[in-house]
Amino acid sequence: MKASPDGTDEGTSLREIAVLFLKLGATVFGGPAAHIARMREEVIVRRSWMTDEDFFDLLATTNFIPGPNSTEMAIHVGNRRAGWRGLVVAGVCFIFPAAAVTLVLAWAYTRFGSLPVAERFLHGVKPVIIAIVAHAIWSLGRTAIRSWVSSLLCAAALIAAAAGVNELVVLLATGVASAAVQRIRDGLRTRAGVAGPAAIRLFRGAAIGVLAGAVPDVGRIFLAFLKIGSVLFGSGYVLLAFLRTEFVTRQHWLTERQLLDAVIAGQVTPGPVFSTATFIGYLLAGVPGGIAATAGIFLPAFVFVALTAPLLRAIARWPDMRPFLDGLVAGSLALMALVAWQLGRAAVVDWPTALISIVSAAVLFRFGRGGGWLILGGGLAGLLTG
C-alpha cells in the first residue's frame, strides 16, 4: 500500500476495517494476550498490513498509556490503515460485540436476580482461557523475542514482577536495559532522556474526579468510568481492583456480590474484558447507564492513541528507540505470563479443571485455533461438574 505523508496507509476501506474488528470482537476469548495474538495473525500474516516490527512497536507503546491494551492495539491498527476514521471504526467495532452481549446479560441478571449458571459455566471456561492465554503468549514470544538479550530481559522482568515490583518500573527497566546493551554494542555516545515518565505524569494528571453519592446518575457513572479508564495501566486483568475500590469501597454503589457477577459477565463474553463496565452501568442506571459506563471507560483509549500515534512515528527515528521498544515488548510478555500464572492458580483447582486445561492446550498447540469451540466445551463441562 502507498504510505501517506502522516504515516497512515492509503487503500484500506473502512468497511474492511469494520468487518475485521467486528469479527475479532465477537469471536476471540481469553483476554488481551489472546486478542493481540489473533490480531497479529489477521493483520500481519493474512493481510500484510504492517510488519512484525511495526506491530510490536505499537504493542510496546500501549503499555505506557492507560486503558485496555488490546483495544488500543485495534485503535492503533485502524489509525495506521485509514487515519482518524479508521481509528474510530476499528475501536468501536472491536468494543461493540462485547458491550452488546454484556448489556443483554445485565438485563437478564436484573430480571432473574443472579448468575448461578454463569458461575458453573465459568468454572469450566476459566481453565480453557488459561490454555488460550498460554498459547497466545507462546505465539507472540516466538516472534517478539528476537535475541538472547530479549530472552534474559523477559526472564528478569518476570522475576521482578513476581516479586511485586510495579509494572511500569518493570517496563521502564527492561526498555532502558535493552537500549543500554545496544548502546554498548554499537559504541554510541550517551543520549539523554526517555519520554515515557513525563507522558505518564501527564496522563495521570488528566484524570477526572468523581463526586460521591448513594444514587448515581448517568453523568456521574460516565465520570466514574472515565476516571478509571484514564488511570488504569495494564490489562483488563487489573480492572477488578479498580472497580472494587471505586464502586464498593468508596461510592457504595455495588455490593461485593454484584461486582463479582459483573466480572463473571465480562469474562464469559468475547472481546475486551473492560465490557464489565457495561454490566455495572446497566445495574446502576439501566441502558443509559450501560452506554455511559462503556463510553466513559473506553473513551480515554481513543484519545491517548490519537495523541501518541504521531509521537511514536517521530521518536522511532531516535537511534536508541529501537532497542528500547524491544525491551518494552520483552517486559510486556513477562507481565502477560505472570498474569496467566496467577489466573491459572485460581482457575485450575481440581482434577476436572486440570484435565480441561490440558486438553485445551493440546488442541491449541496442535491446531492453532478452536478457541470458541473450546470455550463452549469447557463451559458445558463446568455445568456438568459444577
Domain identity same for 209 and 267: yes
The confidence score (pLDDT) of residue 197 equals 40
Domain identity same for 271 and 314: no
Domain identity same for 16 and 134: yes
Rounded to two decimals, the pTM is: 0.65
Determine contact, residues 4/208, Cβ cutoff 8 Å. Answer: no
Determine contact, residues 124/381, Cβ cutoff 8 Å. Answer: yes
In the block, which residue shows the cell 457513572? 221
Residue 82 lies in a domain: yes
Residue 196 lies in a domain: no
Domain identity same for 139 and 66: yes
Determine contact, residues 326/61, Cβ cutoff 8 Å. Answer: no
The confidence score (pLDDT) of residue 69 equals 80
> Cα(374)–Cα(330) distance, rounded to whole angstroms?
29
Residue 188 lies in a domain: no
Tens digit of pLDDT per residue, the chain (386 long)?
444 444 455 567 899 999 999 999 988 876 777 788 889 999 998 999 998 888 888 887 777 677 788 899 999 999 999 999 999 999 999 999 989 999 988 888 787 755 566 667 767 777 877 777 777 677 767 766 777 888 888 888 888 878 877 666 777 788 788 878 877 776 644 443 433 443 333 333 333 333 334 446 899 999 999 988 887 765 555 566 677 778 887 888 888 777 767 776 776 677 787 888 999 999 999 999 999 999 999 999 999 898 888 776 666 566 666 677 677 777 777 776 776 776 677 678 788 888 888 888 888 787 766 566 777 777 788 777 76
Cell numbers standing for residue 72:
488500543
The confidence score (pLDDT) of residue 381 equals 80
Which residues are 227's β-sheet partners?
Answer: none
Residue 89 lies in a domain: yes
Domain identity same for 17 and 82: yes
Query: Rounded to the nearest 5°, which phi and psi values hold at 206?
Result: -85, -5
Dihedral of CA atoms 341, 94, 371, 293 in degrees, nearest 10, equals 60
Q: How open is the CA angle 305-137-59, to the nearest 5 degrees?
A: 15
Range of the domain at 362: 2-146+301-319+343-385
The confidence score (pLDDT) of residue 278 equals 93
Domain identity same for 68 and 98: yes
The confidence score (pLDDT) of residue 320 equals 61
How many domains does the chain contain in total? 2
> Cα(144)–Cα(137) distance, rounded to whole angstroms?
10
Domain identity same for 94 and 211: no
Last residue of a domain, one of 298, 330, 362: 298
Domain identity same for 20 and 85: yes
What residues contact residue 133 under an 8 Å CB cut-off, 6+ apart? Answer: 30, 31, 33, 34, 336, 339, 340, 343
Burial class (CB in 10 A: 0-12, 13-18, 19+), 9: middle
Domain identity same for 141 and 30: yes
Residue 169 lies in a domain: no
